[in-house]
Chain A
Amino acid sequence: MSDTKTENALCLENVRLFHDGSKLLDLNVTIQPGEVVTVMGASGSGKSSLLNLISGFLPPSFSYTGRVVLDGLDITHADPADRKVGLMFQDPLLFPHLSVEENLLFGLPAKGDKTERCEKVRAALGAVNMAELGHRDPLTLSGGQQSRIALIRVLLSEPKALLLDEPFSALDSGLRDKVREFVFAQAKIKNLPTLLVTHDQLDADKSGGQIITL
Chain B
Amino acid sequence: MKTKTKGWGDPLVFAPVIMIVALLGPLIAGLAGVLLPAFGFFPSLGGDQFTFSYLQDVTHKPGFWQSVRLSIWIGVATTFLSLVIVVSSFASQWGRNSFRRITRFISPLMSVPHAAAAFGFAFLIAPSGWLMRLLSPWATGFSHPPDWLIINDPAGNALLIGLVLKEIPFLFLVGLSASSQINVDERLKVARSLGYGRVWSWFTVVFPALYKQMRLPVYAVIAFSSSVVDVALILGPNFPPMLPVQLLHWMNDPALEMRFVAAAGAVWQLGATLVALLIWRIGEALIAYIGRRAAINGQRHRNDRWFRVTATTAMSAVVVIFVLSLIVLTIWSIAGFWRFPNALPSSFTLSRWANNASALWVPIVNAISIAMTSTLISLVLTIACLENEYRHNIQFTPNAMRILYLPLIVPQIAFLFGVSVFLVRYGLDGSFWPVALAHTIFVLPYVFLSMAASFRSFDLRYLQVATSLGASQNKALLFVRLPMLMKPILLASALGVAISIAQYLPTLLIGAGRVPTITTEAVALAAGGDRRLIGIYAMVQTLLPAIGFVGATLLPRFLFPNRKFFR
Contact = CB atoms under 8 A, between A and B. Distances in A.
Please report whether the interface of chain A is mostly helix, strand, loop or mixed according to DSSP: loop
Given A57-B1, A58-B2, A93 B462 contact: yes
Contacts of A83: 468
Interface in B448-464: 459, 461-462, 464
B464 A157 contact: no
Interface string B178-217: 0000000000000000000000000000000000000000
A93 B469 contact: no
A96 B465 CA distance: 13
B470 A96 contact: no
A58 B1 CA distance: 6
Interface centre among B479, B480, B486, B563 (most CB of A within 10 A): B563
Interface stretch (A35-43, A84-92, A119-127, A188-196): A84-92
Nearest to A84: B470
B425 interface: no
Interface residues of A, number: 33
B565 A97 contact: yes
Contacts of B562: 99, 137
Contacts of A89: 461, 465
Nearest to B467: A80
Contacts of A86: 468-469
Interface in B463-484: 464-473, 479-480, 483-484
Contact of A97 (B393, B469, B560): B560
Nearest to B472: A81
Nearest to B482: A97
A96 B564 contact: yes
A5 interface: no
Interface in A8-53: none
A81 B393 contact: no
Please report whether the interface of chain B is mostly helix, strand, loop or mixed according to DSSP: helix
Interface string A98-109: 010000001101
Nearest to A140: B564
Contacts of A154: 468-469
B4 interface: yes
B393 A139 contact: no
A60 interface: yes
Nearest to B393: A60
Interface in B507-557: none
A77 B2 contact: yes
Interface centre among B459, B464, B471, B473 (most CB of A within 10 A): B464
A205 interface: no
A153 interface: yes
B566 interface: yes
Contact of A80 (B468, B563, B566): B468
B3 interface: yes
Contacts of B461: 89, 91, 93
Nearest to A159: B468
B290 to A, nearest CB: 43
A87 B462 CA distance: 11
Contacts of B466: 95, 106
Contacts, number: 85
B373 to A, nearest CB: 27
Given A95-B462, A96-B565, A85 B560 contact: no
B464 to A, nearest CB: 5
A106 B469 contact: yes
Contact of B484 (A56, A81, A95, A106): A95
Nearest to B4: A79
Contacts of B2: 56, 58, 77
A55 interface: yes
A112 interface: no
Interface in A141-157: 153-154, 157
A83 B3 CA distance: 11
Contact of B479 (A59, A80, A96, A106): A106
A107 B461 CA distance: 15
Contacts of B3: 56, 79-80
A87 B464 contact: yes
B564 to A, nearest CB: 4
Contacts of A99: 562
A207 to B, nearest CB: 21
Interface in A125-174: 137, 139-140, 153-154, 157, 159
A57 B464 contact: yes
A139 to B, nearest CB: 4
B558 to A, nearest CB: 13
Contacts of B393: 59-60
Nearest to A80: B467
Given A81-B473, A109-B470, A97 B464 contact: no
27 contacts: A56-B467, A57-B464, A57-B467, A58-B1, A60-B1, A79-B3, A81-B473, A87-B465, A89-B465, A91-B461, A95-B466, A95-B484, A96-B484, A96-B564, A97-B483, A97-B560, A97-B563, A97-B565, A106-B479, A107-B469, A107-B470, A137-B564, A153-B469, A154-B468, A157-B469, A157-B470, A159-B468
Interface of B: 1-4, 393, 459, 461-462, 464-473, 479-480, 483-484, 486, 560, 562-566
Interface of A: 55-60, 77, 79-87, 89, 91, 93, 95-97, 99, 106-107, 109, 137, 139-140, 153-154, 157, 159
Given A56-B467, A95-B466, A137-B563, 12 more contacts: A56-B3, A56-B468, A58-B1, A81-B473, A82-B470, A93-B462, A97-B560, A106-B466, A137-B562, A139-B565, A157-B469, A157-B470
Cβ-closest 4 pairs across A and B: A96-B565, A139-B564, A157-B469, A87-B468
